[in-house]
């Protein structure tokens, strides 16, 4: 049984003409990315607690939760939550309040959390607090800034690394592809209404790292083939390189996908969103390695890459 | 050559063995307390507990220093019998200024100001401007003072938390003016929050001659015992730093709760002097700018101990005693961020994490065997070793593991087999080109290595950035992935290669199972 692989994604001698569909691929990608940018502004991302500040209290009531009673108790305590909703089982209640305004908003935010906890435990004795988070407005804006910095610096580091290890055309096409990937993922976030928080930034960065990894492998092969087949037209050469690495591209995507899948299914509220976005990112990253990164290289480097290797 | 030297073989096997040994403490009880027993710590999200981010109010630190400097300056001028007019304190520019009584006294006043003792070197600059003498606090010195204040606050926060009996708290500085407190197992941090939110600066000061209006050198403060405003002199006669002990007791006369305190010799002397000189006047006990009570001085108190009765109950009296024993914070602390995870959610998260990790691992293992046969199996062995090494390194550094950290481990495992896939695909290509098995193996490993390093380097960079800019659980995610990339390079480039080479040496196959 172990002597042979049991299956392959594509036959080794199969040559798919990917470059024929390059315009289609670029157009579809551009349209999706533009749509995502529009979605980013309208309706926009649903910011998580980390980035918008405020409080969230999640509690489990002893019996099925009586929302009217809970709302009344909060109202009585002078607390006006932005949402009181069920999540998970009928006993699970989530109460969220946006960061208060005003001069002493930091202190207010922290006070609210205790107010909510005592109000619900009075209304429903025996209630267990599962989670109580309060993030002040100044902290949340710092977290947001740090998240964007992490994304920005990562992209810059990737650009520099590929530039140094490969050539300018490779670096620029990679980063453009990554930005296209990233915008689509953000569009996905806007549609699915998963909360955008620090964990999501981690998901975006992992997608970024993974997607780059995928591109580097294809680029590596292109570079090798540029040296090996000195007279082959770039278009043909790109097709050859993509085909040669196709089984590895799909194989690796598959293993990462399989690793992330249980997180999406059983990861609980913290990780479900994270892992679902990861799964989306893996699909987008894999397809962009095939349909976007190489065609961009053809578009940008048709003359330069071929001429240079001819001369050298 | 394709043959591993014995030394290399032993090296790889040794590292794997060390990895297994380092993992063991996580599953066994320490046989003796003296043995180094390094374990992975579970993060608050898995263990349940509270996280507090506190910020020290540096502005008030500056304000306090300015006020005490003003006090000192006035006293010095008085001691040198130098006159002054229009003494101004400006919090915005962090400066004090006054006009000397006459030009003749200006040089003497300037000299007196220069002789004031600084708390830290180069604390303030003295200058002359438009006939006024100006003292300005220096930014550098204030920063040094702030650093000191944060360190001091951490110590006091620790003492206060220890006094509540919280188990295994972690208190650490973050940035310039923040302190992170982690309290495992504390699911209701309300009491600790209120303890940390109290500065607990106790002072004893005389009331102003006319306590109903503010006059220069005094401030209106709320008297909590009667809920009115009284004018209290700014000059501090006895400070809480001179306290040596405090305790909650039941007052013999009223039957209510009270807090007793004991002063050190310097405090006791000062207390005796003030009470002797001011018999019949009212003496305010001020805690954090609120007057707890302001009794009349009936007779001089020379023993250096006393009692505060201010409408306490058992809880507030023992909390105040605790705060006084632990010492005052150099400046107020405020909570900026608070996260609490109940124990049941923590347990559910561990469950979710372990189930996901095992399922994911199983899926990847099955896929690799189906996709690559025997070489897939070797990749799986390497994968298992990778998991062990990750746990080993995390244990060695006694790192914290959070739920996102577990996700990071799982994704690392998903990515780790990428290196094996690259190698196997390469070997397969070489075989298709008609190379003999040995040459195909050799070429496959050699050519794939460059690609593997390039592709892992970019992922490594992205996650280092995340580690640098991330906080809390996200940082943990980045940490496990970064460690995972390093262990992946070891297990794929050395271990799985070793397995393939050993198999080849033993089986001498005519063709490769790729």
Chain segment A72-98, per-residue pLDDT in tens: 999 998 888 888 988 878 888 999 998
- pTM, rounded to two decimals: 0.83
The pLDDT of residue B491 is: 93
Distinct helix (H) and strand (E) counts, chain A: 11, 6
Q: pLDDT band for position B2 (50/70/90)?
A: low
Residue A155's closest chain B neighbor by CA?
B462
* Of residues A302 and B311, more confidently modeled: B311
Instruction: Inspect the interface and report whether the beta carbons of B373 and A205 lie closer than 8 Å.
Output: no
Confidence check: pLDDT of A64 > 80:
yes
Confidence check: pLDDT of A240 > 90:
yes
Instruction: Inspect the interface and report whether the beta carbons of A107 and B334 lie closer than 8 Å.
Output: yes
Q: pLDDT band for position B4 (50/70/90)?
A: low
Percentage of residues of chain B with pLDDT beyond 90: 32
Handedness of CA B90, B91, B93, B97 (dihedral sign): positive
Q: Residue A138 — φ and ψ, nearest 5°?
A: -70, -35
CB B378 within 8 A of CB B370: no
Sheet with A92-98: strands ordered across: A83-86, A92-98, A54-60, A128-135, B333-341, B49-56, B178-184, B170-174
In whole angstroms, give the CA distance from residue B70 to residue B80. Answer: 15
Percentage of residues of chain A with pLDDT beyond 90: 38
CA torsion A43-A48-A51-A52 (nearest 10°) is 70
The pLDDT of residue A242 is: 94
Q: For the purposes of burial, counting CB atoms within 10 Å of the CB of A193, is it exposed (0-12), middle (13-18) or buried (19 or more)?
A: exposed
Confidence check: pLDDT of A312 > 70:
no
Residue B338's closest chain A neighbor by CA?
A134
Chain segment B386-401, per-residue pLDDT in tens: 999 999 999 999 898 9
Q: pLDDT band for position A2 (50/70/90)?
A: low
In whole angstroms, how far apart are CA A30 and each of A25, A139, A280? 8, 35, 17
Chain segment B438-478, per-residue pLDDT in tens: 899 999 999 899 889 888 888 888 888 888 887 777 788 89
The nearest CA of chain B is from the CA of A150 a distance in Å of: 5
Instruction: Inspect the interface and report whether the beta carbons of A270 and B404 lie closer than 8 Å.
Output: yes
Chain segment A110-164, per-residue pLDDT in tens: 888 888 988 888 888 888 888 999 998 888 888 888 888 888 888 888 889 889 9
The pLDDT of residue A310 is: 46
- Mean pLDDT computed over B168-184: 91
Instruction: Inspect the interface and report whether the beta carbons of A6 and B370 lie closer than 8 Å.
Output: yes
Tell me whether B370 touches chain A (CB under 8 Å).
Answer: yes
The nearest CA of chain A is from the CA of B281 a distance in Å of: 37
* Of residues A187 and B127, more confidently modeled: A187
Confidence check: pLDDT of A309 > 60:
no
CB A185 within 8 A of CB A277: yes
Q: pLDDT band for position A181 (50/70/90)?
A: very high
Tell me whether A217 touches chain B (CB under 8 Å).
Answer: yes
Enumerate residues 55 to 84 of chain A having a beta carbon within 8 A of any beta carbon in chain B. Answer: 58, 60
Chain segment B248-291, per-residue pLDDT in tens: 988 888 888 999 999 999 899 999 999 999 988 999 999 988 89
For the stretch B92-97, contacts whose Cβ atoms lie closer than 8 Å and that sit 24 or more positions apart, written own/partner, are B93/B136, B94/B62, B94/B66, B94/B136, B94/B137, B94/B142, B95/B66, B95/B134, B95/B135, B95/B136, B95/B137, B96/B66, B96/B69, B96/B70, B96/B134, B96/B135, B97/B129, B97/B132, B97/B133, B97/B134, B97/B135
Contacts of A201 in chain B (CB under 8 A): 466, 470, 474
Which residues are CB-contacts of B433 (< 8 A; sequence separation ≥ 6)?
none
Residue among B246, B167, B172 nearest B202 (CA): B246
In chain A, the N- to C-terminal Cα span, in Å, equals 48
Instruction: Inspect the interface and report whether the beta carbons of A130 and B372 lie closer than 8 Å.
Output: no
Residue A171's closest chain B neighbor by CA?
B458
The pLDDT of residue B514 is: 75
The pLDDT of residue A311 is: 41
- Mean pLDDT computed over A217-241: 91
Tell me whether A181 touches chain B (CB under 8 Å).
Answer: no
Chain segment B10-66, per-residue pLDDT in tens: 999 999 999 999 998 888 887 777 777 888 988 888 899 999 999 999 888 888 888
Confidence check: pLDDT of A102 > 90:
no
The pLDDT of residue A1 is: 54
The pLDDT of residue A132 is: 92
Q: Which two tokens stand for residue A229?
A: 């087949």
Enumerate residues 2 to 31 of chain A having a beta carbon within 8 A of any beta carbon in chain B. Answer: 2-8, 12
Q: Give me the interface pTM, i.e. the ipTM.
A: 0.89
Confidence check: pLDDT of B348 > 60:
yes
Q: Out of A22-31, A272-281, B227-236, which region has the weakest mean confidence (pLDDT)?
A: B227-236
Instruction: Inspect the interface and report whether the beta carbons of A198 and B474 lie closer than 8 Å.
Output: yes
CB pairs under 8 A between A and B: 254
3-state SS string for B429-454: HHHHCCCCHHHHHHHHHHHHHHHHHH
């Amino acid at each position: 049984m172990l002597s042979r692989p049991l299956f392959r994604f594509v036959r080794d001698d199969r040559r798919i003409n990917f470059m024929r569909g390059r315009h289609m691929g670029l157009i579809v990608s551009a349209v999706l990315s533009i749509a995502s940018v529009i979605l980013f502004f309208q309706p926009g991302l649903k910011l998580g607690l980390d980035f918008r500040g405020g409080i969230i209290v999640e509690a489990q009531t002893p019996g099925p939760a009586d929302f009217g009673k809970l709302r009344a108790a909060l109202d009585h305590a002078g607390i006006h939550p932005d949402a009181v909703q069920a999540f998970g089982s009928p006993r699970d209640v989530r109460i969220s309040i946006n960061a208060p305004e005003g001069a002493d908003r930091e202190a207010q935010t922290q006070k609210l959390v205790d107010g909510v906890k005592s109000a619900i435990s009075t209304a429903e004795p025996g209630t267990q607090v599962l989670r109580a988070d309060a993030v002040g407005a100044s902290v949340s804006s710092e977290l947001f800034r740090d998240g964007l910095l992490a994304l920005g610096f990562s992209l810059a580091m990737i650009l520099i690394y590929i530039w140094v290890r490969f050539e300018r055309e490779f670096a620029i096409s990679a980063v453009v592809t990554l930005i296209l990937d990233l915008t689509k993922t953000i569009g996905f976030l806007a549609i699915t209404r998963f909360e955008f928080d620090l964990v999501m930034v981690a998901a975006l960065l992992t997608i970024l790292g993974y997607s780059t990894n995928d591109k580097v492998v294809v680029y590596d092969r292109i570079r090798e083939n540029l040296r090996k087949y000195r007279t082959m037209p770039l278009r043909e050469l790109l097709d050859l390189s993509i085909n040669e690495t196709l089984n590895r591209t799909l194989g690796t995507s598959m293993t990462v996908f399989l690793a992330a899948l249980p997180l999406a299914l059983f990861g609980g509220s913290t990780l479900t969103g994270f892992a679902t976005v990861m799964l989306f990112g893996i699909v987008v990253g894999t397809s962009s390695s095939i349909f976007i990164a190489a065609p961009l290289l053809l578009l940008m480097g048709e003359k330069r890459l071929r001429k240079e290797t001819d001369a050298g | 050559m394709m043959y591993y030297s014995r030394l290399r073989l032993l090296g790889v096997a040794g590292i794997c063995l060390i990895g297994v040994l380092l993992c063991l403490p996580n599953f066994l009880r320490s046989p003796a307390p003296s043995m180094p027993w390094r374990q992975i710590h579970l993060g608050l999200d898995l263990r349940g507990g509270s996280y507090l981010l506190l910020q020290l109010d540096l502005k008030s630190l500056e304000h306090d220093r300015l006020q005490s400097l003003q006090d000192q300056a006035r006293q010095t001028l008085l001691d040198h019998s130098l006159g002054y007019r229009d003494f101004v304190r400006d919090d915005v520019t962090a400066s004090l200024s006054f006009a000397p009584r006459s030009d003749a006294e200006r040089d003497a006043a300037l000299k007196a100001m220069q002789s004031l003792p600084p708390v830290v070197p180069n604390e303030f600059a003295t200058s002359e401007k438009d006939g006024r003498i100006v003292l300005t606090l220096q930014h550098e010195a204030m920063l040094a003072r702030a650093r000191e204040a944060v360190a001091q606050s951490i110590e006091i926060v620790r003492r206060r938390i220890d006094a509540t009996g919280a188990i295994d708290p972690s208190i650490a500085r973050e940035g310039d003016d923040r302190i992170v407190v982690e309290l495992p197992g504390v699911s209701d941090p309300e009491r600790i929050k209120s303890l940390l939110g109290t500065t607990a600066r106790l002072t004893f000061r005389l009331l102003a001659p006319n306590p109903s209006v503010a006059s220069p050198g005094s401030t209106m403060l709320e008297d909590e015992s009667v809920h009115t405003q009284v004018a209290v002199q700014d000059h501090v006669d006895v400070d809480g730093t001179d306290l040596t002990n405090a305790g909650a007791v039941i007052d013999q006369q009223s039957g209510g709760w009270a807090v007793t305190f004991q002063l050190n010799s310097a405090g006791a002397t000062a207390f005796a002097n003030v009470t002797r000189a001011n018999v019949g006047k009212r003496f305010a006990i001020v805690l954090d700018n609120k007057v707890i009570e302001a009794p009349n001085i009936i007779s001089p108190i020379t023993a250096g101990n006393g009692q505060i009765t201010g409408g306490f109950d058992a809880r507030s009296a023992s909390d105040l005693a605790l705060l006084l024993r632990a010492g005052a914070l150099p400046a107020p602390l405020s909570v900026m961020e608070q996260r609490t995870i109940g124990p049941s959610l923590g347990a559910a998260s561990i469950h979710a994490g372990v189930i996901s990790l095992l399922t994911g691992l199983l899926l990847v293992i099955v896929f690799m065997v189906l996709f690559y046969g025997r070489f897939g199996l070797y990749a799986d062995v390497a994968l298992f070793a990778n998991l062990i090494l990750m746990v080993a390194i995390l244990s060695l550094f006694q790192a914290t593991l959070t739920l996102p950290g577990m996700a990071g481990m799982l994704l690392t495992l998903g990515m780790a087999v990428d290196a094996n896939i690259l190698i196997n695909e390469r070997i397969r290509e070489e075989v298709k080109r008609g190379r003999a098995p040995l040459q195909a193996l050799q070429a496959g490993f050699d050519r794939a290595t460059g690609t593997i390093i390039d592709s892992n380097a970019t992922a490594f960079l992205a996650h280092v950035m995340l580690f640098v800019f991330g906080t809390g659980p996200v940082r943990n995610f980045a940490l496990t992935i970064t460690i995972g990339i390093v262990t992946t390079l070891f297990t794929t480039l050395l271990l799985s290669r070793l397995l393939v080479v050993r198999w080849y040496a033993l089986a001498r196959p005519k063709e490769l199972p790729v």
